[in-house]
Chain A
Amino acid sequence: MNTASPSKTSPNSRVLMRAHALTHPGAQFKEAITVADVMASKPVAMPLKLLDCCPVSDGGAAFVVSRERTGAMGIRVRGCAQAHTHQHVTAAPALSELGAEIAIARAKAASGVAISDVRYAAVYDSFTITLAMLLEDLGLAGRGEAAARVRAGYFGRAGAMPLNTHGGLLSYGHCGVGGAMAHLVETHLQMTGRAGPRQVRDASLALLHGDGGVLSSHVSMFLERVR
């Protein structure tokens, strides 16, 4: 369980999401930031500061689902699963038993995919602490190791597990449902080799994870590129 304060562990993920946003013409935020900027930002609800929180954005996202193949490459859903443990935070299970762990375990069982097979990750990032918790719950980092992996470049565009290369909710923007749909749009662009200057080396298999409520409702999905 990651019990450390997010103000000590997570500002790097905001800096990473901002760096990714700088490479997307549609992102809300266009200026680079540093860890010092995150730490110096105004307190909102401690220990979260302004730059630990996603913005309130105008915007939208769209994708078209077709039965017929529209190009040389297609995307297949390998497996998908969900878990809903509570609505209000007072009814949430222990931090080590949240729905993300249940959803990812079910998705792995449904698809036969292991986390070590994943080449691109799209993870809901409403707050820096949400992202750190989800990365660890999903097995993309060990307990308490998400921040260190972010700092080491593991989740960068050229890293071992590129994450939210459009900038995520934290820096691309969060316009409600469309904010999370942007993760899927970016995943599709990456998987089909259409992400332009943001293109990662290999996005042949992706993990998409969404979260709603207060870590209440979780959906994990494995997507695979097919030719």
Chain B
Amino acid sequence: MSGKLADWTSGAEAILYQSCGACGRAQYFRRSFCAACGAPDVVEKSASGTGTVYATSLVCRAATPETRAHIPYNILLVDTREGFRMMAHGDNDLAIGDQVVAGYRSFAGRLVPYFEKRK
């Protein structure tokens, strides 16, 4: 392995995040520094895909023609076990506080994380 991890944004079934070597904070958006303390030594890690639903919104009007076939679809904010919050797709009946686990589905031609209730 080259050591470079791949995630869903390049078609791999994985969710990556960054962990700060100095303060330990986890962040979802990739940066060359820690957004909390500014330290430059952030390490890329693979997330477990488990978390808790923080917010949901059922999208009933397609934003683009390509997404029309998916209507209605749920958009979530998930607080992951690793401590970062991410936006993702998920089952339409999910509610705030549900324990969820990520799978992967095709949405408008792209692979995206898709959360379901943890069994």
Contacts and interface: CB of A to CB of B under 8 A. Distances in A.
A44 B85 contact: no
Most chain B beta-carbon contacts within 10 A, residue among A43, A88, A90, A91: A90
A90 B60 contact: no
A45 B61 contact: yes
A128 to B, nearest CB: 14
Given A90-B28, A90-B85, A91-B29, A42 B61 contact: yes
A43 B92 CA distance: 15
A89 interface: yes
A42 B87 contact: no
B64 to A, nearest CB: 14
Size category of the A interface is 10 to 19
Contact of A42 (B58, B60, B77, B86): B60
Interface in A47-101: 47-48, 88-91
Contacts of B85: 90-91
Contacts of A47: 57
B29 A88 contact: yes
B60 A46 contact: yes
Nearest to A88: B29
Interface in B13-42: 28-29, 35
A90 B61 contact: no
Interface residues of B, number: 15
Contacts of B35: 91
State the majority secondary structure of interface residues on A: mixed
Given A90-B28, A90-B86, A45 B77 contact: no
Contacts, number: 35
A90 B57 contact: no
B22 to A, nearest CB: 19
A45 B58 contact: yes
Interface string B39-54: 0000000000000000
Contact of B57 (A46, A88, A91): A46
A43 B60 CA distance: 6
B108 interface: no
A211 to B, nearest CB: 18
A112 B28 CA distance: 40
Interface in A115-166: none
B5 interface: no
A85 to B, nearest CB: 11
Interface string B73-116: 00101000000111100000000000000000000000000000
Given A90-B28, A91-B29, A45 B87 contact: no
Nearest to B63: A45
Contacts of A89: 77, 87
Contacts of A90: 28-29, 77, 84-87
A44 B84 CA distance: 28
A36 B114 CA distance: 35
Interface of B: 28-29, 35, 57-61, 72, 75, 77, 84-87
